[in-house]
Amino acid sequence: MARIVMPVAEGFEDSELTVPMQRLREGGHEVTLLGSEAGVKVRGKRGEASVEIDETADHVLPEDFDLLVIPGGHSPDRLRVDPRIVDFVRRFFESGRPVAAICHGPQLLIEADVVRGKTLTSWPSVRRDLENAGATWIDRELVEDENLITSRKPGDLDVFCQALESQI
């Protein structure tokens, strides 16, 4: 059984959190929701899902987990102003273990300063931010570059989840 951590805040893209979380849990894996404040309920931007934050970055270590998955929506933009979350993401990435992000999720990777020299995909509006941060952006449903896995949108969730499952 693998341990997965998913940073999440208010306004996450509902399916980009719930679909991978459900598939990973059905596979027998433990999923921990990481946020700015434990015990707080956050809602998806479409109002279809709400979840409770399990832990903060003050109380867990990147070494405690096997995989990091960043859902999109407004959540990554909110999380990138929390230096504890940004530091956690940076240290996790630097460990060499798999890091996955979908849609707007790469915004958090940009803030963690880990995209320079990498090839990624994302929601189209994040393209310029990625390029300005030194990444190469391509429009493809799944892009894998070393320990980095990225997808564009909810329509890519099936291939995104397959890539996650292949990592654990």
State the catalytic residue, choosing from 103, 109, 130, 148: 103
Spans of all domains in the chain:
3-167
Confirm if 85 and 53 have CB atoms less than 8 A apart: no
Residue 50 pLDDT: 97
3-167: CATH class: alpha beta
Q: Is 161 a catalytic residue?
A: no
Residue ranges, the chain, pLDDT below 50: none
Confirm if 61 and 6 have CB atoms less than 8 A apart: no
pTM exceeds 0.85: yes
Residue 60 pLDDT: 96
pLDDT in tens, 141-157: 999 999 999 999 999 99
Sign of the C-alpha dihedral computed for residues 140, 144, 25 and 6 taken in this order: negative
Residue 163 pLDDT: 98
